[in-house]
Amino acid sequence: MKRAYLILSLLLALAFNVNAQKAIYELPNRVSSSDVLKTDGLVQPFLDDFLKLCKEYDIEYSDKLFKLKEIAIVDSLQMSSKGGTLGMLVRDSNNQVEKIVFSWMTLLDKEILKVVAFHEFGHYFLGYKHTCKDCNTIMAEVNTSYFDIVNDWDNQIKTLFLNSPEYLKKQRLTQH
């Protein structure tokens, strides 16, 4: 019986490694020394969806996107039985964001990865700080139910973009 669990565990680990291959996100007219942003293939669809929404809400994202070096799933974020960090922005020595990383724990469910991805993209592209401690919104510091957020996804997205610092700043500028 133990042998069967060990074999199953190894197969699952292999499946995660195979699925988490790197995708290359080609950026047109990239101005930095690198022509590509390394993006984990599992995160790529969420980045694509987020950037489409940026276009829809007229949020400029290309300058920030060009500055990123990598978007990755890692095994180095702090986790414990009481919780942990599921995603974060990684900064360089000049305090500029160079990477967006996600814990391997987000791979346990596609919907968790989606919420955490939009949360981190909200920090980076929309200028958000956390909006509350635990309030079941995308930009909460802690979420007790990612599935409540997903079940209210259209409303969550509308709120995320319309209340974002970048969107509000753009609205103030167009009113003057």
Measured distance CA(104)–CA(61) in Å, rounded: 26
Q: Considering the domain boundaries, does residue 3 fall inside one? A: no
Task: Give the pLDDT of residue 35.
Answer: 53
Q: Considering the domain boundaries, does residue 145 fall inside one? A: yes
Q: Considering the domain boundaries, does residue 4 fall inside one? A: no
Task: Give the pLDDT of residue 55.
Answer: 97
Q: Pairing state of beta strands 97-103 and 70-74?
A: parallel
Task: Give the pLDDT of residue 133.
Answer: 92
Q: Considering the domain boundaries, does residue 5 fall inside one? A: no
Instruction: State if pTM tops 0.85.
Output: no
Q: Considering the domain boundaries, does residue 15 fall inside one? A: no
Task: Give the pLDDT of residue 78.
Answer: 84
Q: Considering the domain boundaries, does residue 1 fall inside one? A: no
Walk along the chain (176 residues) and give the pLDDT tens digit of each residue: 555 444 444 434 433 333 333 343 444 333 333 457 898 899 999 999 999 999 999 999 999 999 999 999 998 888 777 778 899 999 999 999 999 999 999 999 999 999 999 999 999 999 999 999 989 999 999 888 888 999 999 999 999 999 999 999 988 877 76
**Contact by Cβ (8 Å): 27, 36:** yes
One-letter amino acid of 106: T
**Contact by Cβ (8 Å): 47, 102:** no
State the total domains in the chain.
1
Joined together, the tokens standing for residue 73 give 């799933």
Range of the domain at 153: 21-175
Q: Considering the domain boundaries, does residue 12 fall inside one? A: no
Task: Give the pLDDT of residue 27.
Answer: 40
Measured distance CA(151)–CA(47) in Å, rounded: 20
Measured distance CA(42)–CA(60) in Å, rounded: 24
- Contact partners, residue 173, CB within 8 Å, separation at least 6: none
Residue whose entry in the numeric block shows the structure tokens 């984990």: 40
